[in-house]
């Protein structure tokens, strides 16, 4: 893997695609600085290695041209404080000002370019626009994994202008390495745990994982499409009628591949979608009319925990129930704790996807799993088995 560690940056200008797409409040203050903090190690390393560092990012979804509420100028103070140096700013990501400021950068200095998406050429993947950005620097670093599944000018197209001088930053390198470790180099038994609301959007993931795992655990709302496909009674639970055949095919594929598919035996059912609903534990294929399954039941929790504790590799995406409501969070809490405990015993665990990351953070287990992917859509496409254009562009 090409990373910044093995490259000589002395006296060079490097253009770095970072992800500074952070939330701002009405006063244009950063309300969650996670993404800025995450970019700091790569930037500081480049400065230490003697590079003049040019940072480029998108912020929000501006429609046509510049809009103050999407200006990266708003994060300048925050970024300067975190880097311990005054970061310079160019009011346009291309053009004379950017060129002059980039050319004047001294080793260790940092220049932030204005929002790339003020140009529609960015998301269109325009080659001329990418070339103008490339013209600012001698080397290219991609450290924005969250946009790696998009063939945008700054995430993919630009790489062709640096055939021998392109590499991953630490953030992106870690994501690629950890997801590859699970998908391509996993120790056995390998168990994937999938939850969340729906099967749709996860079909490709299920299909790809069935080629790789020993065990596939299904929980969350998506379990009921499988249970109904097997002929069970699901009451008012979330079901995707149009995916019943897809669920049947997945079950057949699992059997053919020798993958053990774990579908919950019991569920916690509620008489309405409310934390204070009446609730009872029922067999997962006998949810009474008027009731809906909102969490996995106690027998299922025990089965899942045992499978998890006996695994050497774990991939978890999606909550086991409606964990935002305390009365339906037990399944997700137990699975999160089991993943953490298995990791403590030596298993490698990767947690990814918005809600499972939220769960791991909520239960304070983020340091007890091997790796938490922040990649969102990029991470999901990666585990679907797709080649991410931003990754391929650097690796080619
Ligand atoms: P996803 O975005 O597909 O990962 O889905 C996450 C959401 O699924 C969370 O907001 C959960 O509340 C929801 N969810 C999990 N289990 C269930 C269930 N049994 N019924 C309805 N929603 C659920």
What's the distance, CA 349 to chain centroid? 15
- With b for 16 or more beta-carbon neighbours within 10 A and e for fewer, the 43-82 pattern comes to bbbbbebebbbbbbbbbbebeeeeeeebbbebbeebbbeb
> In the structure encoding, which two tokens stand for residue 295, read together?
């969490």
- The protein residue with its alpha carbon nearest to ligand 1, atom 21, reads 221
What percentage of residues in the chain have a pLDDT greater than 70?
100
Cβ atoms within 10 Å of 84's Cβ, excluding its own: 9
One digit per residue, pLDDT tens: the chain, 396 residues? 788 999 999 999 999 999 999 999 999 999 999 899 999 999 999 999 999 999 999 999 999 899 999 999 999 999 999 999 999 999 999 999 999 999 999 999 999 999 999 999 999 999 999 999 999 999 999 999 989 999 999 999 999 999 999 999 999 999 999 999 999 999 999 999 999 998 998 999 999 999 999 999 999 999 999 999 999 999 999 999 999 999 999 999 999 999 999 999 999 999 999 999 999 999 999 999 999 999 999 999 999 999 999 999 999 999 999 999 999 999 999 999 999 999 999 999 999 877 888 899 999 999 999 999 978 789 889 999 899 999 999 998
Q: In angstroms, what is the span from residue 371 Cα to ligand 1's centroid?
A: 22
The catalytic residues are: 35, 198, 354, 377
- The pLDDT tens digits for 286-329 are 999 999 999 999 999 999 999 999 999 999 999 999 999 999 99
What's the pTM value of the predicted model, to 2 decimals?
A: 0.89
Minimum-distance ligand 1 atom for the alpha carbon of 219: 16
Burial of 164 (0-12, 13-18, 19+ CB in 10 A): exposed
Residue ranges around ligand 1 (CB below 6 Å): 196-198, 220-221, 238, 293-294, 318-319, 321-322, 324, 353, 355
- The protein residue with its alpha carbon nearest to ligand 1, atom 20, reads 221
Q: How far apart are CA 360 and CA 336, in angstroms?
A: 6
Minimum-distance ligand 1 atom for the alpha carbon of 317: 4
Please name each of the domains of the chain with its CATH number: 4-168 (3.40.50.1260), 176-383 (3.40.50.1260)
């Amino acid at each position: 893997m090409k990373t910044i560690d093995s490259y000589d940056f002395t006296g060079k200008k490097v253009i770095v695609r970072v992800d500074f797409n952070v939330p701002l409040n009405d006063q244009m203050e950063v309300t969650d600085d996670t993404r800025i903090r995450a970019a700091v190690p790569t930037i500081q390393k480049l400065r230490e290695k003697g590079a003049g560092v040019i940072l480029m990012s998108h912020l929000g979804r501006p429609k046509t041209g510049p809009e103050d509420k999407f200006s990266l100028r708003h994060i300048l103070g925050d970024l300067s404080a975190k880097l311990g140096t005054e970061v310079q700013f160019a009011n346009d990501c291309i053009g004379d000002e950017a060129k002059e400021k980039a050319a004047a950068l001294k080793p260790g200095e940092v220049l932030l370019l204005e929002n790339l998406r003020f140009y529609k050429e960015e998301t269109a993947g325009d080659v001329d626009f990418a070339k103008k950005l490339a013209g600012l620097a001698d080397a290219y670093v991609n450290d924005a994994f969250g946009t790696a599944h998009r063939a945008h000018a700054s995430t993919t197209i630009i790489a062709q202008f640096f055939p021998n001088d392109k590499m991953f930053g630490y953030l992106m390198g870690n994501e690629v390495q950890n997801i590859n470790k699970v998908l391509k180099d996993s120790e056995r038994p390998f168990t994937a745990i999938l939850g969340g609301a729906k099967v749709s959007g996860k079909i490709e993931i299920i299909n790809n994982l069935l080629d790789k795992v020993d065990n596939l655990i299904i929980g969350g709302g998506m379990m009921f499409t499988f249970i109904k496909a097997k002929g069970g009674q699901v009451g008012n639970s979330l079901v995707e009628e149009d995916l019943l055949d897809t669920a049947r095919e997945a079950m057949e594929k699992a059997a053919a591949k020798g993958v053990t598919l774990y579908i919950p035996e019991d569920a916690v059912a509620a008489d309405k979608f409310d934390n204070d609903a009446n609730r009872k534990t029922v067999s997962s294929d006998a949810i009474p009319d008027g009731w809906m399954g909102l969490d996995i039941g106690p027998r299922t929790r025990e089965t899942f925990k045992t499978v998890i504790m006996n695994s050497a590799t774990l991939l978890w995406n999606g909550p086991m129930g409606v964990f935002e409501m305390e009365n339906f969070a037990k399944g997700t809490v137990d699975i999160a704790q089991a993943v953490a405990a298995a990791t403590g015993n030596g298993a490698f665990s990767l947690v990814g996807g918005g809600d499972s990351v939220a769960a791991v953070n909520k239960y304070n287990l983020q340091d007890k799993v091997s790796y938490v992917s922040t990649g969102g859509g990029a991470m999901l496409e990666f585990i679907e088995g797709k080649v991410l254009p931003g990754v391929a562009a650097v690796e080619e």
